C-alpha cells in the first residue's frame, strides 16, 4: 500500500510541525489540516483573530510613510507568491510614473494544492490588511484591493468580517474586495493587473511598453504583506516559512527554514522514503528524494542547488507511483488551463501532453518529447507554457530509468497513479 501523510500533530491542540520560530512573530496561529481539494477551509474550524486580539498582540498599526521602503529593504523581505523578488525593488518600480497607483493583496491561490495564503487570511486577516494599508500609504496609492479566488467563500467572509471591525478605525484608501475568476491563471500578477482595471483576468504578453501616465499596479502576495506589517512594527524577520503539503489530505504548516525535508515529512507522519517530491505545484519541478532529503526548506539553499519551492507547495511521491504517469496527468491539466492567447498555449501544450502520454504508454520517444518541449519553451505570450516544459524536463531527469523503460516499451508497471486535486486521472 502506498504510504500516505497523516497529521498526528495537527488536530485539536493546534500544535505545529517543527520547532517554534527562533526569531520574530509567527504568522499562523496554528498549522491546519485541510480537505484534499478546494479552498483553504480547515477540516476542524478555527477562530479568526479579532481586531482587539490583533492590537493586543502587536499594538496599533503605525503610520505608513515613505521611509517604510527602507525598512522593507533592510529586513530583506522578498515576495512569497513564487518569484521571490525583493519587495523593495517592486516598491521602487511602482513609485515611478505618474499614473494612479493600485496596491493589491493577492489571495487568489489558483494552484489547486496551495492553501497557505487562504489559511493566513482566515486566521489573521488584520495582519494582512495592515500590510496592505501600510504599503498603500507609504507609496501614496489611490486604491487598495484584495483579490480573492472566485470560489473562496471562506476567505471572503473572513475579510468582510475583519473590514467591518475596522470600519471606523482605518485611515487611507478604502479596501475593495474583488473576486477573480475560478481559473488556474487567475492569481498570476499580470492577470490580476488586468482584472482590477476592468479587463479580462488573463496574463499579459511578456514585453509591454510602459506609458509613464498609465495606471500603476503593485501586486503582493498576502504572506508578503503580513510580513510588511510585522517589519513596520520593528519585528525581526521571522525565520519560518509557510508551506502547503499534499498527502492523504492537505496541510498548511509553518516551519523553520532550517528544517530539512526529512524532518518536514517525518513530522507529518511520512514513514517511508518517497521517490521524489514535486516542488512549487503543478507547474513546478520534480526533485529526487536523495537530492532533497537533507536540504533545508530555505529558498536560498534550494536555489543554490538549482531548485525552488515557488509558492511553497510540497507534494511527495510514493515509491509505488509512476512518476511519468503523474507528470502526464499534470501536463494534461496545464494544457486544459491554457490562456488561449497564443499558439504555444493553444497547440503546443496539448501536443506536449500527447507526447508525455505516448511515452507513458510505451509508444513514444524521449527525443520527440523533448523536441515538443523545446518548441514551447519561452515562446508563449505569457509564462504559463514554461511551467509545463519545466515540469517535463525535471521529470525526464528525475525519473530517468523509468523514462528509458517506458520508451523501450517496458513500462515500469507501477500500479498506482497519484490523485491530484482538480485533475482527472
Q: What is the mean pLDDT of residues 402-420?
A: 83
Confidence of residue 11 (pLDDT cuts 50, 70, 90): very low
The residue written with cell numbers 503605525 in the block is: 62
pLDDT digits (tens, 9 = 90+) for 290-349: 999 999 999 999 999 999 999 899 999 998 899 999 999 999 999 999 877 887 788 889
Distance between CA atoms of 38 and 149, rounded to whole angstroms?
11
What pLDDT is attached to residue 106?
A: 95
Record the cell numbers describing residue 78, joined without a space: 522578498
As a whole number, the mean pLDDT across the chain is 87
The residue written with cell numbers 511520512 in the block is: 270
Q: Which residue has the higher pLDDT, 364 or 143?
A: 143
**CATH top-level class of 39-232:** alpha beta
CA dihedral 81, 54, 68, 89 (to 10 degrees): 0
The residue written with cell numbers 486535486 in the block is: 421
What pLDDT is attached to residue 345?
A: 82
Judge contact between 310 and 280, C-beta under 8 A. Answer: yes
Spans of all domains in the chain: 39-232, 323-407
The residue written with cell numbers 500590510 in the block is: 131
Closest to 396 in 3D by CA, of 275, 317, 285, 308: 285
Confidence of residue 425 (pLDDT cuts 50, 70, 90): low
Does residue 101 have a pLDDT over 90? yes
The residue written with cell numbers 513514444 in the block is: 364
Instruction: Give the whole-number percent of the chain exceeding pLDDT 70.
Output: 91
Buried/exposed 386-417: b ≥16 CB within 10 Å, e otherwise:
bbbbbbbbbbbebbeebbebbbeeebbebeee
Q: Is 300 exposed, middle or buried (0-12, 13-18, 19+ CB in 10 A)?
A: exposed
Query: Left, alpha or beta for 397 (phi > 0: left; psi -120 to 50: alpha)?
Result: alpha
Distance between CA atoms of 331 and 334, rounded to whole angstroms?
5
- What contacts 56, CB < 8 A, 6 or more positions away? none
The answer to pTM > 0.75 is yes
3-class DSSP assignment, residue 295: coil
Closest to 274 in 3D by CA, of 264, 282, 283, 284: 264
Judge contact between 226 and 111, C-beta under 8 A. Answer: no
Does residue 364 have a pLDDT over 80? no
**CATH top-level class of 323-407:** mainly alpha
Record the cell numbers describing residue 138, joined without a space: 507609504
Record the cell numbers describing residue 153, joined without a space: 467563500
In angstroms and rounded to an integer, the radius of gyration of the C-alpha atoms of the chain is 21
What pLDDT is attached to residue 21?
A: 41
Distance between CA atoms of 267 and 368, rounded to whole angstroms?
41
Record the cell numbers describing residue 135, joined without a space: 504599503
What pLDDT is attached to residue 19?
A: 41
Answer yes or no: same fold for 39-232 and 323-407.
no
What pLDDT is attached to residue 334?
A: 93
The residue count of the chain comes to 425
3-class DSSP assignment, residue 62: coil
pLDDT digits (tens, 9 = 90+) for 115-133: 999 999 999 999 999 999 9
What pLDDT is attached to residue 9?
A: 36
Record the cell numbers describing residue 2, joined without a space: 502506498
Distance between CA atoms of 83 and 156, rounded to whole angstroms?
25
Q: Which residue has the higher pLDDT, 341 or 231?
A: 231
Amino acid at each position: 500500500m502506498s504510504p500516505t501523510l497523516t497529521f498526528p500533530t495537527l488536530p485539536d491542540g493546534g500544535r505545529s510541525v517543527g520547532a517554534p520560530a527562533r526569531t520574530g512573530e509567527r504568522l499562523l496561529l496554528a498549522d491546519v489540516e485541510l480537505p484534499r481539494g478546494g479552498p483553504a477551509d480547515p477540516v476542524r474550524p478555527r477562530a479568526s483573530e479579532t481586531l482587539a486580539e490583533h492590537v493586543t498582540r502587536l499594538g496599533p498599526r503605525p503610520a505608513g510613510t515613505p521611509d517604510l521602503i527602507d525598512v522593507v529593504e533592510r529586513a530583506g523581505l522578498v515576495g512569497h507568491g513564487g518569484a521571490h523578488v525583493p519587495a523593495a525593488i517592486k516598491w521602487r518600480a511602482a513609485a515611478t510614473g505618474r499614473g494612479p497607483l493600485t496596491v493589491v493583496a493577492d489571495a487568489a491561490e489558483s494552484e489547486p494544492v496551495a492553501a497557505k495564503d487562504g489559511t493566513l487570511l482566515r486566521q489573521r486577516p488584520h495582519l494582512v490588511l495592515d500590510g496592505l494599508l501600510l504599503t498603500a500609504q507609504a507609496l501614496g496609492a489611490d486604491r487598495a484591493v484584495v483579490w480573492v479566488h472566485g470560489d473562496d467563500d471562506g476567505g471572503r467572509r473572513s475579510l468582510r468580517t475583519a473590514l467591518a471591525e475596522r470600519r471606523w478605525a482605518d485611515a487611507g484608501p478604502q479596501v475593495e474586495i474583488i473576486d477573480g475568476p475560478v481559473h488556474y491563471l487567475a492569481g498570476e500578477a499580470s492577470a490580476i493587473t488586468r482584472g482590477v482595471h476592468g479587463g479580462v483576468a488573463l496574463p499579459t504578453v511578456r514585453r509591454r511598453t510602459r506609458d509613464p501616465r498609465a495606471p500603476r499596479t503593485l501586486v503582493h502576495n498576502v504572506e508578503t504583506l503580513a510580513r510588511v506589517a510585522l517589519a513596520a512594527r520593528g519585528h525581526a524577520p521571522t525565520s519560518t516559512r509557510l508551506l502547503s503539503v499534499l498527502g492523504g489530505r492537505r496541510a498548511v504548516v509553518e516551519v523553520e527554514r532550517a528544517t530539512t525535508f526529512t524532518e518536514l515529512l517525518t513530522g507529518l507522519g511520512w514513514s517511508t522514503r518517497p521517490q521524489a517530491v514535486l516542488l512549487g505545484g503543478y507547474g513546478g519541478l520534480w526533485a529526487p528524494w536523495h537530492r532533497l532529503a537533507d536540504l533545508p526548506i530555505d529558498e536560498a539553499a534550494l536555489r543554490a542547488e538549482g531548485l525552488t519551492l515557488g509558492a511553497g507547495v510540497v507534494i511527495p511521491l510514493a515509491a509505488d507511483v509512476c512518476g511519468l504517469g503523474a507528470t502526464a496527468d499534470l501536463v494534461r491539466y496545464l494544457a486544459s488551463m491554457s490562456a488561449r492567447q497564443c499558439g504555444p498555449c493553444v497547440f503546443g501544450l496539448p501536443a506536449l501532453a500527447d507526447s508525455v502520454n505516448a511515452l507513458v504508454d510505451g509508444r513514444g520517444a524521449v527525443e520527440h518529447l523533448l523536441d515538443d518541449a523545446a518548441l514551447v519553451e519561452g515562446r508563449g505570450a505569457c509564462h504559463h507554457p514554461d511551467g509545463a516544459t519545466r515540469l517535463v524536463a525535471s521529470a525526464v531527469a528525475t525519473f530517468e530509468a523509468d523514462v528509458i523503460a517506458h520508451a523501450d516499451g517496458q513500462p515500469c508497471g507501477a500500479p498506482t497513479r497519484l490523485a491530484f486535486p482538480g485533475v482527472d486521472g
